[in-house]
Amino acid sequence: MIRLPPSFRERVWGSANLEPWFPGVAGRIGEVWFTADPPHPILVKFLFTTGNLSVQVHPAGDAGVGKTEMWHILRAEPGARIALGFREPVTRERLRESALSGRIEQLLQWFPVQAGQTYFTPAGTVHAIGAGITLCEIQQNSDITYRLYDYGRPRDLHLEEGVAAADLGPHPGASAGAPLEDGWTRLVHCPYFVTDLIETAAETTCPPGCLLVVLDGHGKVDGEAVRAGQVCLDAIRIRPESPMRLLRTYAPVSALSR
């Protein structure tokens, strides 16, 4: 088992309240990344928001180019919401005009969120994460982002690239989990990653090559102590010492062979 180190990234929309996953900080931490060396095809992040993230879209493609992702909501303040896709199909010209005018906020499909929900965000989905949310993001290991609208903040936009990459229709909303025979629940299965969830106080296992994300509780993984807010690579045997809530995620064989 390899414990991945956290990397704390300040963001204008970030928070100083990272507990119980991480100690509180003085700055505005928006993202905590867990990276491996050599790079793993999947990147795990924790996000903490006190403001709205930009309206953005990611391109499609394999590792390093495309960015398909999923969000598992850990905490949500009353009224917190995310945007995924559009309320009705739009044209690329209308998308471009609305991004320039700010009317894109009214075109987007906004979903109220609550802890425990999962949202799958394929590359090409125009999206925005609102304020008051803590989530775990699992994604292709890429950081290519095209901003379409940023609430007047002085950051670069990427209108032409974003409009070209965007899917123009609605999004189905929160994903429904499917129970597995080993007690885990399948949250997402896509060409780039598979992610499962379990809430347990009993011993459980992961297949070789998994990234294990500890969301709640503490225990031992392959004999080493772990707690909430930690991510382990090649974790096999998990022995809870309190009720634990865990994600395991891995790349399908088809993705590793690309």
Q: Measure Cα distances from 35 to 135, 139, 228 in Å.
A: 17, 12, 17
**Cα gap 3→228, rounded to integer Å:** 13
Exposed, middle or buried: residue 111 (CB in 10 Å: 0-12, 13-18, 19+)? Answer: middle
ω into 191 cis (within 30 of 0) = no
**Cα gap 212→195, rounded to integer Å:** 10
Number of residues assigned to the chain: 258
CA atoms within 13 A on the CB side of 115: 10
* Cα Dmax for the chain: 57
Active-site position among 3, 9, 11, 147: 147
Are residues 211 and 195 in contact, defined by beta-carbon separation less than 8 angstroms? no
Amino acid 177 reads: G
The helix/strand/coil state of 221 is: strand
Q: What are phi and psi of 254, to 5 degrees?
A: -60, -35
Closest CA to 55 of 15, 85, 77: 85
Whether 147 is a known active-site residue: answer yes
Exposed, middle or buried: residue 253 (CB in 10 Å: 0-12, 13-18, 19+)? Answer: exposed
Q: What amino acid positions are annotated as catalytic residues?
A: 147
